[in-house]
Amino acid sequence: MEDKGTQVLARAAALLRAIGGGESAGMSTTAIARAAALPRPTAHRLLTALSAEGLVDRDSATGLWSLGPELYLLGAGAAQRYDITDQSRDVIERLARETGESAFLSARRGDETVCMLSREGSFPLRSHVLHEGIRFPLGVASAGLAILSHLPDRDIDDYFARSDLEPRWTTSHSEAAIRERIAATRTTGYAVNPGLLVEGSWGMGAAVFDRNGRPAWALSLTGVETRFRADRRADMGVLLLELAHELTLRLRR
């Protein structure tokens, strides 16, 4: 059983992740509490304490919360070790340019992925499921599916033992359904999300590996269903795998 201090830290971390994955304009206390699965009074009390430390900031006019200046300073230090956006920028730009779809870089953070970098493609109709900062559980969205699929079988079993995605993400994200998509991803090398989050919005992803051969990041593309015909998916899949491999080699140097 968690002690009180550990519980407070876990709740504070959940609030910060909720804000980081929300809209850039900020989030209301109610929305943050809901995203963090906390009672509103508890969320408000912790947000006030985090604000006093500069970890969150509240707009006096709108009452919306956003990440605070102290997190920027802490993040600047952590970026030297964890941020690969500079090494990935040309890869993401090439993906968007050559496919016309929106391209993304996502990073694994525990049992989630967080979108770190995005570029819009030239095709005028776009999917708006992803944006920088948004988080999804592993197995949800193509980036998280690509990463999950390339984990060792034991790690996948452990993940499902502690995660139940179906209540929030519907039966399309039951363990059995995700395992079927894992098998398909392992066959082709790339993951496909056939409009499971938003109807008509498709995605594809390929894993990028760290120095230890673990899937730590993913490249992905999103767009409208009509742009993801079978023949075009095959071409985009080859490009995703090529650029994911190129980025993996770059990060190992």
Backbone angles phi, psi at 212, to 5 degrees: -95, 5
* β-pairing verdict for 65-67 and 56-58: antiparallel
- Whose structure tokens read 């690509």? 146
pLDDT at 137 over 90: yes
Q: Is the dihedral of CA 169, 174, 179, 181 positive or negative?
A: negative
* % residues pLDDT > 90 (the chain): 70
pLDDT tens-digit series, residues 140-169 = 999 999 999 999 999 999 999 999 999 999
pLDDT at 123 over 80: no
Specify the CATH number for 83-252; select among 3.40.50.10420, 3.30.930.10, 2.60.40.60, 3.30.450.40.
3.30.450.40
**Rounded Cα gap, residues 117 and 79, in angstroms:** 14
Picking from 68-72, 90-94, 98-102, 170-174, which range would have the lowest pLDDT averaged per residue?
A: 68-72
- Position 52 scores a pLDDT of 92
**Rounded Cα gap, residues 166 and 140, in angstroms:** 11
Neighbours of 40 (CB within 10 A): 14
Q: Which distant-in-sequence residues (6+ apart) come within 8 Å of 173 by Cβ?
A: 139, 140, 165, 166, 196
Q: Where are the alpha helices (DSSP H) in the chain?
A: 4-20, 29-36, 40-52, 69-82, 85-99, 141-149, 153-162, 166-169, 175-188, 230-252
**Rounded Cα gap, residues 78 and 154, in angstroms:** 30
Cite the residue boundaries of each domain of the chain with CATH code 3.30.450.40: 83-252
- Position 73 scores a pLDDT of 74
Query: Structure tokens of 92?
Result: 């993401």
Mean pLDDT of the chain: 90
Q: What is the mean pLDDT of residues 202-231?
A: 95
- Position 6 scores a pLDDT of 87
* Residues facing 204 on adjacent strands: 192, 221
Name the pLDDT band for 177 (thresholds 50, 70, 90). very high
Picking from 10-24, 68-82, 117-131, 239-253, which range would have the lowest pLDDT averaged per residue?
A: 68-82
With 0-12 CB in 10 A as exposed, 13-18 as middle and 19+ as buried, what is 99? buried
* Residues facing 106 on adjacent strands: 115, 218
pLDDT tens-digit series, residues 18-70 = 898 777 789 999 999 998 899 999 999 999 999 999 999 999 899 999 998 88
- Whose structure tokens read 């593309």? 221
174 CA to centre of own chain: 19
Conformational region of residue 122, where left means phi above 0, alpha means psi within -120 to 50, and beta covers everything else: alpha
pLDDT tens-digit series, residues 2-22 = 578 888 998 999 899 889 877
Buried b (16+ CB within 10 A) or exposed e, 2-14: eeeeeeeeebbeb
- Whose structure tokens read 């969150």? 56
Cite the residue boundaries of each domain of the chain with CATH code 1.10.10.10: 4-74
Nearest-5° angle of CA 130, CA 132, CA 138? 60
pLDDT at 234 over 80: yes
Name the pLDDT band for 126 (thresholds 50, 70, 90). low
- Identify the architecture of domain 4-74 in CATH: Orthogonal Bundle (1.10)
